[in-house]
Structure 1
Amino acid sequence: MRAITLTQFGGPEVLTVGDVERPTLKPAEVLIRTAAAGVNRADLLQRQGHYPPPKGTSEIIGLEVSGHIEEIGEDVTGWSVGDPCVALLAGGGYADYVAVDAGQVIPPPPGVDLITAAGLLEVAATVISNMDHVRLADGETFLVHGGAGGIGSFAIQYAKSRGCTVAATAGTEEKLEVCRELGADIAIDYHDDWPTHLREATEGHGADVILDVMGAKYLDANVTSLARLGRLVVIGLQGGIKGELNLNKLLSKAGTVTATSLRFRPTAEKAAICARVRDEVWPLISSGQIRLAGETRFPIERVREAHEWLASGENVGKIVLTF
């Protein structure tokens, strides 16, 4: 089968289309014939050698796919060959076929084409699992960084569906307008003094929950921006891995700082999260409460361009590779 392989760690030029063996199916798994694969920031980090897959997982890049069931493990029920599906992966997505535990496979949202669906599950699972983790409550004030990206555009709408006051940061006026169109009540240019802008816009309250993809670079500013009893959850490290935490500032707010990685969660947890997405998020998409923010499509042969486009910072919404 075709798969994207690495000649070494490095820039997009190390990505090549090669031939590898088709995965061997385990009893609790299904084999999916890939229609499309989502492209995520984690993929760029893995390509650079900074985000290796969990032990025993495919070395092939790719954390989510859409496609059709090709083969069913002997312990699997509820699926038939040919069924359309989407899957949450720990790796292996940039390939013609992928084997995955059946608990991490769900039908695509009703009415959404299979290519678009490839870019929905990882985002939805990331957002809903982290909002559960920090106990986002209806009506709270919520801040997400990178509001026009895949995670941000979904998080804005999910928080709005919960009745939250939503703030988002972005780097250009075009992206700030995207945030507003998606429902952000407060849109802030991150080049400015965004903690001050947030404090003023919330009349001194700050954010009850912050979803952060930057890591070290924003750590102090995020803690500054927390409301009393506020919760910061870090899910990305685009701004570095080591930051200085002012414990006195955190103590004075009775705040919480936590960090999670969806990729390294046990299979049973991922299955539960996928079920939550199917039962809670897909109906929000069907009802129009969450609108699809659009995606940019690249054929698998142009995977290098897809990585370059994501790294450029110009992208809005999701990027998917088509097979």
Structure 2
Amino acid sequence: MKAIVITTPGGPEVLQLQQVDDPEIKDDEVLIKVEASALNRADTLQRKGAYPPPKGASPYPGLECSGTVLSVGKNVTRWKVGDQVCALLSGGGYAEKVAVPAGQVLPIPPGVSLKDSAGLPEVACTVWSTVFMMSRLSAGETFLVHGGSSGIGTFAIQIAKTKGATVFITAGSEDKLAFCKNLGADVCINYKTEDFVTRVKEETGGKGVDVILDCIGAAYLQRNLDSLNFDGTLCLIGFQSGAVTEIKLNTLLPKRLTVQGAALRPRSRENKAMVVNEVEKNVWPAIAAGKVKPIIYKSFPLSDTGEAHRLMESSEHIGKILLVP
């Protein structure tokens, strides 16, 4: 098969389409013919040598895909050859075929094309596991997601609204703010022209928000804590501004704040299967009802993966970027 190989750590030019061996499936895995895969920020870190694949995972990038089942391991009972599916991967999505544990495979949700469903597994599993399973966002609460126009952000806005939350977002352009507003965000803050802490306090009568989902890291940590309500939770899922900073510990105690972090890729197969199962039960019905949809910005052929990475790193996109073999 053909796959994208990282020839050496570096810029987008190191991503080369090469002929490689087909994946071999284990007894509890399925082999998928890839219809599309989607980019994630983690892929750009892997390309730079900063986020190596977990032990035993494919060396090729790509953390989610959609496609058709080509074969199944002898212990697999749910899936059969010909099924149209999407899947959460530990790697290997930038290819024509990928092997994946059966527990990380999802049916295509009603109303979504096979191609577009490639943009769902990673964001759905990330947002559901962090915002709802860990941070327990519930109806009537307030929720802030940084990078509202990203793949994570556009999904988080929609699913949080279906659960009855008031949604705040930050983004860096008027076009992105307008897009997020149209998706259902209640309060849209331009981080380039406004201080989000001040705006959050204004909009909540000085209280702050109940849950924050943050991919920025160091530069936002203290300001995030300052933006939380009593018993509020900050969930960190990325460090785009760095991973080391200082905070005032006396921010935490009076308001009983919780700071937690989560990553999806290093989790065990069992944990991922549990998250995928929860997503199918709780998120897929909202997609089937038309309340949540994948936001696809642009698709690239696999041979133009470098260009797709350049677009992602420019942050000019809204939603997900797809690769099509």
TM-score range relative to shorter protein: over 0.9
The residue identity in structure 1 corresponding to 2:66 is S
- Residues 144-168 of structure 1 show CA distances to partners (whole Å, capped at 9, x for unaligned) of 0000111001101111111111100
Q: What corresponds to 1:174 in structure 2? A: 175
How do 1:1-323 and structure 2 match up within 5 A? 1-131=1-131, 132-191=133-192, 192-323=194-325
Alpha-carbon distance in 2 for matches of 1:188, 1:195? 10
8 Å CA contact 2:119, 2:296 repeated in 1: no
Alpha-carbon distance in 2 for matches of 1:163, 1:111? 23
Alpha-carbon distance in 2 for matches of 1:25, 1:14? 28
8 Å CA contact 1:38, 1:62 repeated in 2: yes
Deviation above 6 Å: which 4+ runs of structure 1? none
Alpha-carbon distance in 1 for matches of 2:288, 2:24? 35
Alpha-carbon distance in 2 for matches of 1:282, 1:137? 18
Alpha-carbon distance in 2 for matches of 1:297, 1:73? 31
Q: CA deviation at 1:277?
A: 1.6
Alpha-carbon distance in 1 for matches of 2:110, 2:260? 34
Q: CA deviation at 1:230?
A: 0.3
Alpha-carbon distance in 2 for matches of 1:286, 1:30? 25
8 Å CA contact 2:209, 2:227 repeated in 1: yes
8 Å CA contact 2:128, 2:279 repeated in 1: yes
Q: CA deviation at 1:82?
A: 1.0
Q: CA deviation at 1:117?
A: 0.4
8 Å CA contact 1:116, 1:295 repeated in 2: no
The residue identity in structure 2 corresponding to 1:139 is G
Alpha-carbon distance in 2 for matches of 1:267, 1:166? 32
Q: CA deviation at 1:281?
A: 1.0
Alpha-carbon distance in 2 for matches of 1:116, 1:178? 19
Q: CA deviation at 1:140?
A: 0.5
Q: CA deviation at 1:287?
A: 1.0
Partner SS, residue 115 of structure 2: helix
Unpaired segments ≥5 residues, structure 2: none
Partner SS, residue 275 of structure 1: helix
8 Å CA contact 2:111, 2:290 repeated in 1: no
The residue identity in structure 2 corresponding to 1:277 is V
RMSD between aligned residues: 0.9
Unpaired segments ≥5 residues, structure 1: none
Alpha-carbon distance in 2 for matches of 1:112, 1:296? 16
Q: CA deviation at 1:241?
A: 0.9
The residue identity in structure 2 corresponding to 1:213 is C
Q: Percent identity?
A: 51
Partner SS, residue 118 of structure 1: helix
8 Å CA contact 1:104, 1:274 repeated in 2: yes
Alpha-carbon distance in 2 for matches of 1:241, 1:152? 20
